[in-house]
Amino acid sequence: MSASNADLQQRKNAATPRGVGVMCDFYADRALNAELWDIEGRRFIDFAAGIAVTNTGHRHPKIVAALREQLDRFTHTAYQIVPYASYVELAEKVNARAPGKHAKKTAFFTTGAEAVENAIKIARAATGRPGVIAFTGGFHGRTMMGMALTGKVAPYKVGFGPFPSDVFHAPFPNPLHGVTAADSLKALEHLFKADIDPQRVAAIIFEPVQGEGGFYPAPAEFVRGLRALCDTYGILLIADEVQTGFARTGKLFAMEHYDIVPDLMTIAKSLAGGMPLSGVVGRADVMDGPAPGGLGGTYAGNPLAIAAAHAVLDIIDSEALCDRAAAFGERLKAKLTALRASVPQIADVRGPGAMIAVEFSKPGAPHEPDAAFTKRVQTRALERGLLLLACGVYSNVIRFLFPLTIEEKVFDEALAILEDVLKETASIAA
């Protein structure tokens, strides 16, 4: 007899540490596109996509075929020992499609945090400077440098210090909570006066749309201001596109929404449709900063993941996923906006493309986050078979990360569940 969810939950608690937080108490059996079934046969609509990893859906036929073909050739040689053409070809594709007309180079790694670590290494090697500036609410991974850069203490930093030095934080623009783009840029100038000489800063790293921090888009004037500061002081600008990349925002990369170009970009998550692959792409001269052997990793650019990534880029183009992201995102925003009259806890609806969020605050007090209401919405939606993720420094934001390949009827079903849950939760709270 197969194990039940309850059995596995008990075994999980006995066999794995509590530090690996797990949201759901059921266990996946199979998934297809935007739907997932647990080991007891219950169906869920997946609006989490493995935290923005399956933009191309679960088990897309082109990705499955690419993996099978690569399995029949080889699974691992370590690119640094015996290279393979598919790595080079994927780097060429990413270089051609990343923002900017300048010469670019790409190195592949395994996780988003690993990409961030290497971006900092590259920036320091290229500039000969140690300092790095990040922003409040930003999330850049769970490694030591990733935690140092991350601008959210709980649960990511608690008990793990001390962290690497020469990392500084400035407030990220957040109009709902009283921080303008001008405030953020002024804070950077204050850092240069009070904490670190700008001539010692290697890089400024930011997310074009903050992910874990609450899906706050970076205002255009803020991004232009960052570019101007970097140009003035010889600082490199790093765009962390780990969560925003690969059609999620309605463009292949979120930086395409702006009229400026970063020096480096980190990529991961949906790059390989569920296979572990990340990368750093940037100015060729900057990418060549580290000496041979300074970059790499045993599994970096794994051939199976590389094969999947080639398929992902093909799917994004052939199925017009950027257009689908924009269209589905507009429908979701329209639904949430229409619900504001009956759900007074909705303080804001935001986001480009299909990187949409709804923020909840106490009725009549848009600056007082309502984490309890957010949790009830998430819990009730899960009971109804809709998988949602929360985020935000105050845990009062629901982010929507459905696969961009989602079928119309499944999307409509999810919106109906969402509307019912929001209205029901609001009526209980009244």
Domain 64-318 belongs to what topology?
Aspartate Aminotransferase; domain 2 (3.40.640)
**CA-closest candidate to residue 184, choices 149, 219, 213:** 219
* pLDDT at position 252: 98
pLDDT(367) > 90: no
Amino acid at 359: E
DSSP string, 21-66: ----SS-EEEEEBTEEEETT--EEEESSHHHHT-TT-BT-HHHHHH
Confidence of residue 393 (pLDDT cuts 50, 70, 90): very high
> Which residues are CB-contacts of 379 (< 8 A; sequence separation ≥ 6)?
none
Which residue ranges does the chain devote to CATH 3.90.1150.10? Answer: 5-59+320-429
Once rounded to an integer, what is the mean pLDDT over residues 112-136? 98
* pLDDT at position 364: 83
Cis peptide before 162 (omega within 30 of 0): yes
How far is the C-alpha of 326 from the C-alpha of 408, rounded, in Å? 14
**CA-closest candidate to residue 243, choices 351, 108, 359:** 351
How far is the C-alpha of 256 from the C-alpha of 267, rounded, in Å? 14
Token code pair at residue 157: 């930093």
> Which residues are CB-contacts of 111 (< 8 A; sequence separation ≥ 6)?
141, 268, 276, 278
Which tens digit of pLDDT belongs to each residue from 301-352?
999 999 999 999 999 999 999 999 999 999 999 999 999 999 999 999 999 9
CA 359-408-57 angle, to 5 degrees, is 75
pLDDT > 90 in the chain, percent: 96
pLDDT(46) > 60: yes
The widest CA-to-CA distance across the chain, in whole angstroms, is 67
H helices within 293-387, ranges in order? Answer: 303-318, 321-338, 371-383
* pLDDT at position 79: 98
Segment holding 171, helix H or strand E = none
pLDDT(194) > 90: yes
Per-chain mean pLDDT for the chain: 97
The answer to whether the CB of 242 falls within 8 A of the CB of 266 is yes
pLDDT(108) > 90: yes
* pLDDT at position 98: 98
Confidence of residue 220 (pLDDT cuts 50, 70, 90): very high
Say whether 379 sits in a helix, a strand or coil.
helix
How far is the C-alpha of 372 from the C-alpha of 366, rounded, in Å? 15
* pLDDT at position 366: 74
Once rounded to an integer, what is the mean pLDDT over residues 251-257? 98
The answer to whether the CB of 203 falls within 8 A of the CB of 123 is yes
Which one is predicted more confidently, 266 or 175?
A: 266
How far is the C-alpha of 390 from the C-alpha of 176, rounded, in Å? 18
Say whether 81 sits in a helix, a strand or coil.
coil
Which residue ranges does the chain devote to CATH 3.40.640.10? Answer: 64-318
* pLDDT at position 215: 97
How far is the C-alpha of 33 from the C-alpha of 56, rounded, in Å? 8
Token code pair at residue 91: 């780097």
> Which residues are CB-contacts of 133 (< 8 A; sequence separation ≥ 6)?
167, 168, 169, 170, 188, 191, 196, 201, 203, 204, 205
CATH of domain 5-59+320-429: 3.90.1150.10
How far is the C-alpha of 146 from the C-alpha of 84, rounded, in Å? 30
pLDDT(2) > 80: no
Token code pair at residue 385: 């078979």
* pLDDT at position 365: 79
* pLDDT at position 429: 79
Once rounded to an integer, what is the mean pLDDT over residues 394-413? 98
Say whether 209 sits in a helix, a strand or coil.
strand
* pLDDT at position 425: 97
**CA-closest candidate to residue 226, choices 278, 284, 187, 193:** 187
* pLDDT at position 288: 98
Once rounded to an integer, what is the mean pLDDT over residues 44-50? 98
Q: How far is CA 202 from the centre of its chain?
A: 23
DSSP string, 107-125: EEESSHHHHHHHHHHHHHH
pLDDT(1) > 60: no
